[in-house]
Structure 1
Amino acid sequence: MADHAFSPWKVETRTRASSAFGLVALAVVIAAAAAPLFVSRSVIQDLFFILTMLVLAQCWNLLAGYAGLVSVGQQAFVGFGAYTMFAVVILAGLDPIVGILLAGITASVLAIPVAFFAFRLQGAYFAIGTWVIAEVVRLLLAQWKALGGGTGTSLPSGATREMFGVGLVSDWLGVRPSQAADIVCYWLALVLACATIGFIYKLLRSKQGLGLAAVRDNREAARSVGVDPGWMKSVVYLAAALVTGIAGALIYVQKARISPDAAFSLTDWTAYVIFIVVIGGIGTIEGPIVGVIVFFILLNLLADYGSWYLLVLGLIGIIVMLFAPRGLWGLFADRTGIQLFPVRRILTGASSTTKGVPHG
């Protein structure tokens, strides 16, 4: 028998800060789920807006921040998902919840031909190409007379009030069906936001996440180590389209009225989303969370200034990009080293001496 010294090594991503944040995040989600019990309807609508914009921002950040796909055409999937939901409710007479689920499927199906053409473009051409495709989809749906054509249409009277779960919530909380519909939409948005963040975090911590980072940083180098760049980008693009389509349908269930110009708005569903990600910090999960809170505060502070608020938002975005290129969260993380959703692998090891290990 002989003494043998060895140093076991292991790869970790979790940090002390992330472990503590996990408990805080759980408490926040529970409090958010219980919010309809003690806050007003207007607050629920504000929270719904924050959650849906967060979902859109996380999806765009997944594309641009992790896959290197800077798209300015994500409004195509918001609008297509919303129109799918309206078609399911108005033409097929089904529940809006069914429409929301189908919206994700149809949006991901739309992403297949979009990716086929857009992936042949690089850099700025890819960005412009996705915008052009979104405009084509908008113009095509504007010809759909059964859904109002260019002027749009509204959901049938009572469609949201009769939505699955609304009656139960109305009886349980003692609120009007219209308020209960807002609560159901809010809970769905909360589930979607948590699921989106959880999916992205799990993806980035997996070996597929490593492959995605390799594709973003150096396409040819990634290919040389066995990563298929086209396949990785396609999967991410389809996943982002699916979630974006679901979010678009959910937003328009709550709005209950749609028009091509609103559903395919470049400003509302892409420009604002890009602002959120850039302000918060691109390439981080925490960035869009910080960014959407900052965006909501600015939107309320500047609401009385008309179209001037767009100028102010643009100016703030430029200032942040100049002095904090990695966004507000990136600036904070660089100075503190804190990561709430760590995805970087850390090699740790502890030397120990064990006796009685048989040799050979």
Structure 2
Amino acid sequence: MTQLASYRLTTRTRTGTAAGLAALVLIAVGIVLPAFVSRSVIQDLFYILTMLTLAQLWNLLAGYGGLVSVGQQAFVGIGAYAMFAGVILAGWNPVFAILLGGVAALILAIPTAFFVFRLQGAYFAIGTWVIAEVTRLLVAQWKTLGGGTGTSLPREATGSILGVDAIRALFSVREAAARDILAYWLALVLVVAVTGGIYWLLRNRLGLALAAVRDNTEAAKSVGVDAGRLKWAVFLLASVATGLTGALIFLQTARISPDAAFALTDWTAYVVFIVVIGGIGTIEGPILGVIVFFILRSALADYGSWYLLSLGIIAIVVMLFAPRGLWGLISSRSGLHLFPVRRRLAGPKIEGGH
């Protein structure tokens, strides 16, 4: 009995431990990076971090929960507009108003879930898109916030953003550059919290239950998994975090309109592309995917419609020759897992053999 008790299930690996330490180093470097790079680099990193956050959240829904949504722009947009409403109508500091984005996304997600969870497969995806379009049309009637043409944050609001003065003094930069640094730091906190939270979720029992629901809902129910409650929880959590991300994105731009805030291409199509080419159902996939996407965006963005066509062709090629994405191809050939979530039996003999 003592010998049997010494064996246990674990997800920890040496590679995973090394990757965790490397991630801590990268986070530390990311915090001090504004002292050494230009404003344009900070803006690029902000874009990468926010897109990575959206990609990890969509991957949680589709890759781990089996909830293929094409309406995530609804939560980006409503989160952004809630932040603007808090600043313009209630006089909140923009940093605190970001929290309203999460609250508004939660309020929208509850009736959305009631509707779309009654649909299956492609109908679920179409249902999320319909909700997003209805939300966009309703917000476009909000005349106080510019209606269909949108509005900008007031100058007095952008000039009094919490922390900007301290950043100006610390780095000796102008106000606009200080706002970019603040937004970048907030994006870094958000992506670390989202990625770390998803990794924690997948390593515990809820992660196993979520994978079971994704693979076979009825089988998961037969072993006691409350599939409905789990899907609700994942959908609501992803929606809140998406709303916070949307609020942060439009805090950085300081300008909003319904077409920009609820853009299907920007906040869902690009996100799906990132996850698909990187590797759906893995934490590493969106990280690799967002790097590839940013490189392609930088190289092809000046070619207009050819840019979107190129992205489509690349996505098709990857799906044909690497159905599990680029990271899936790499991990299958090398056995490399930077964020291991699979359980394995560990014990004296097993560990001693490695």
- Give the alignment's TM-score, normalised by structure 2: 0.97
Tell me if structure 2 keeps the 8 A contact 1:170–1:176.
yes
Tell me if structure 2 keeps the 8 A contact 1:103–1:245.
yes
3-state DSSP class of the match of 2:8? Answer: strand
- CA shift at 1:5, angstroms? 7.8
Partner of 1:127: 125
Partner of 2:213: 215
- CA shift at 1:348, angstroms? 1.8
Partner of 1:343: 341
Partner of 2:253: 255
Q: Does 1:333 align with 2:331?
A: yes
Amino acid at match of 1:127: A
Aligned length: 349
1:276 and 1:217 map into 2 onto residues whose CA distance is: 22
Partner of 1:288: 286
Moved more, 310-319 or 100-109: 100-109
2:203 and 2:106 map into 1 onto residues whose CA distance is: 24
Moved more, 313-322 or 302-311: 302-311
User: Residues 42-121 of structure 1: matches in 2 within 5 Å?
Assistant: 42-121=40-119
- CA shift at 1:274, angstroms? 0.0
Tell me if structure 2 keeps the 8 A contact 1:161–1:181.
no
Partner of 2:178: 180
CA 1:110–1:5 in structure 2 vs 1: closer, same or farther (change >3 Å)?
Answer: closer
Residue of 144, 167, 170 corresponding to 1:169: 167
1:317 and 1:296 map into 2 onto residues whose CA distance is: 14
3-state DSSP class of the match of 1:347? Answer: strand
- CA shift at 1:224, angstroms? 0.8
3-state DSSP class of the match of 1:317? Answer: helix
User: In proportion to residue count, which structure has more helix?
Assistant: 2
1:262 and 1:195 map into 2 onto residues whose CA distance is: 26
2:203 and 2:346 map into 1 onto residues whose CA distance is: 17
Q: Does 1:203 align with 2:201?
A: yes
- CA shift at 1:124, angstroms? 0.2
3-state DSSP class of the match of 2:158? Answer: coil
1:68 and 1:161 map into 2 onto residues whose CA distance is: 43
Tell me if structure 2 keeps the 8 A contact 1:161–1:178.
no
- CA deviations over 1:34-81 (Å, ceiling 9, x no partner): 110000000000000000000000000000000000000000000000
3-state DSSP class of the match of 2:183? Answer: helix
Tell me if structure 2 keeps the 8 A contact 1:111–1:237.
yes
The gaps in structure 2 that reach 5 residues or longer are: none
Tell me if structure 2 keeps the 8 A contact 1:6–1:351.
no
- CA shift at 1:6, angstroms? 2.9
1:243 and 1:289 map into 2 onto residues whose CA distance is: 17
The gaps in structure 1 that reach 5 residues or longer are: 353-360
Identity of aligned residues (%): 67
Residue of 230, 235, 238 corresponding to 2:233: 235
Moved more, 104-113 or 36-45: 104-113
Moved more, 343-352 or 192-201: 343-352
3-state DSSP class of the match of 1:159? Answer: helix
- Give the alignment's TM-score, normalised by structure 1: 0.95
Root-mean-square deviation (CA, aligned residues, Å) is: 1.2
1:351 and 1:175 map into 2 onto residues whose CA distance is: 58
CA 1:19–1:5 in structure 2 vs 1: closer, same or farther (change >3 Å)?
Answer: closer
2:98 and 2:112 map into 1 onto residues whose CA distance is: 21
Partner of 2:3: 6
- CA shift at 1:114, angstroms? 0.2
Amino acid at match of 1:231: R
Residue of 27, 38, 41 corresponding to 1:40: 38
3-state DSSP class of the match of 1:340? Answer: coil
2:39 and 2:3 map into 1 onto residues whose CA distance is: 62
- Structure 1: 4+ residue segments shifted above 6 A: none
Partner of 1:356: none
Tell me if structure 2 keeps the 8 A contact 1:5–1:351.
no
2:203 and 2:24 map into 1 onto residues whose CA distance is: 20
1:39 and 1:351 map into 2 onto residues whose CA distance is: 49
2:346 and 2:184 map into 1 onto residues whose CA distance is: 42
CA 1:351–1:341 in structure 2 vs 1: closer, same or farther (change >3 Å)?
Answer: closer
- CA shift at 1:284, angstroms? 0.3
2:92 and 2:346 map into 1 onto residues whose CA distance is: 54
Partner of 1:279: 277
Amino acid at match of 1:220: E
User: Residues 288-327 of structure 1: matches in 2 within 5 Å?
Assistant: 288-327=286-325
- CA shift at 1:158, angstroms? 3.5
Partner of 1:190: 188
Tell me if structure 2 keeps the 8 A contact 1:81–1:106.
yes
- CA deviations over 1:219-254 (Å, ceiling 9, x no partner): 011111111111000000000001000000000001
